[in-house]
Structure 1
Amino acid sequence: MLTLRAHHLLCIQGYLGKGYSKAFVKNMDKVVDSLKDTTLIKVISKVDDICIACPHALENDCCESEDKVSFFDTSVLETLKIKVNNMYPYGILLDIIRKNLTLKSFKEICVTCTWFSYGYCERGCFYAGHSSQT
């Protein structure tokens, strides 16, 4: 089982092996490589299995940018219609992303993210067959 912040469900879709540091990339590679359709994911809204190697993670299970990432998490939970602290097989989460995430909602959620301007997540969510473009 993995624990993932809700917004990291979108980040993973566009992940290309880049990140904040070598340790972060190594950990992200490990998380992404472990994802199979049957992998159980506990969706949370605090420091998760990706954040543990992030230089922005704080000791109190928060992020330096907690207000911003909390907005991302809340917005993803509402858009995807999933519940925090619930467990889902990763394949089901991919189906939920395809069904509920639109390009418009993606942009509304992610526009303030540091990574947004690179376009990785947008390409991963919409142009790699993961979701609808409406």
Structure 2
Amino acid sequence: MRPLRLRGHHLLCVHGFRGMGYSPSFVEKMKEIVRDIRDEEKEMLIQVVVALDEACFSCPHHGESTCQADPTSNDHVVSMDKKVLTHLGLEENAVYLKSELLRLTAKKVRPDDLDDLCANCSWLSYGVCKEGIANLRQKKSELSEIASSPFQKVWYDKKI
């Protein structure tokens, strides 16, 4: 199975994605990526990169190897990628299980962390990114509580 290449900051974007984007083709590609990441039944490998990823190649601003939305955009997205990798304790170009990345994100990223990790991102002001991280943390917290709660035997009396 070939890993999905995903840049560092997109590890956070996928949780807040609500169908907005730079072009119809970018939105469709992000929908596909987000669907796979949110599918709890699907495990997959993700290679975390500080470079153009599979979503970027559907964006109208991608160049051959860098983001070219404006003269400073590539430096900006690379900075966000590196901050996210450092915050999560990940290695550039390493391959991780999707489930492990979700667990790490839920554990280590609080909604307010996005003010620093995603500083000056044009999407941050919409609030959907923080909401997405909050939802992920809530969901993982509930699953953790279920997993750590003591096993209770349930008696079922069925009359035949």
Q: Report the equivalent of 1:120.
A: 128
Q: Is contact 2:112-2:130 (8 Å) kept?
A: no
Q: In 2, distance between residues paired with 1:40 and 1:19?
A: 24
**Per-residue deviation at 1:131?**
7.3
Once residues 34 and 20 of structure 1 are traced to their aligned partners in structure 2, the CA distance between those partners, rounded to angstroms, is 20
Equivalent residues of 1:125, 1:131 under 8 A apart:
no
Q: Say whether 1:81 aligns with 2:96.
A: no
**1:34 is paired with a residue of what secondary structure?**
helix
- Which piece of structure 1 moves more, 112-121 or 27-36? 27-36
Larger mean Cα displacement after TM superposition, 70-79 or 94-103:
94-103
Distance apart, 1:28 and its partner CA: 1.0
Q: How big is each residue's C-alpha offset from its partner over 1:5-45, in whole Å with a ceiling of 9 and x where there is no partner?
A: 01000000011111111111111112222234511000000
- Taking structure 1 as the reference length, the TM-score comes to 0.90
8 Å Cα contact 1:41/1:88 also seen in 2: yes
1:45, 1:130 → 2: CA distance? 28
Alignment gaps of 5+ in structure 1: none
Kept after mapping to 1: 8 A contact 2:9/2:84: yes
> Where in structure 2 are there 5+ consecutive unaligned residues?
142-160
Q: Which amino acid counterpart does residue 81 of structure 2 have in structure 1?
A: D
Aligned to 1:63: 67
Hey, what's the Cα distance between the residues in 1 that align with 2:104 and 2:9?
Answer: 13
Match 2:44 to one of 39, 44, 61: 39
Larger radius of gyration: 2
Q: 2:111 aligns with which of 103, 121, 131?
A: 103
Q: Distance in 1 between matches of 2:53 and 2:139?
A: 23
Report Cα offsets for 1:89-126 as digits up to 9, x if no partner: 11110100111112342211113101010111110011
Matched length: 131
Q: Which residue in the other structure is 2:4 paired with?
A: 2
Kept after mapping to 1: 8 A contact 2:9/2:80: yes
User: Which of 46, 52, 60 does residue 57 from structure 2 map onto?
Assistant: 52
The normalised TM-score by structure 2 is: 0.76
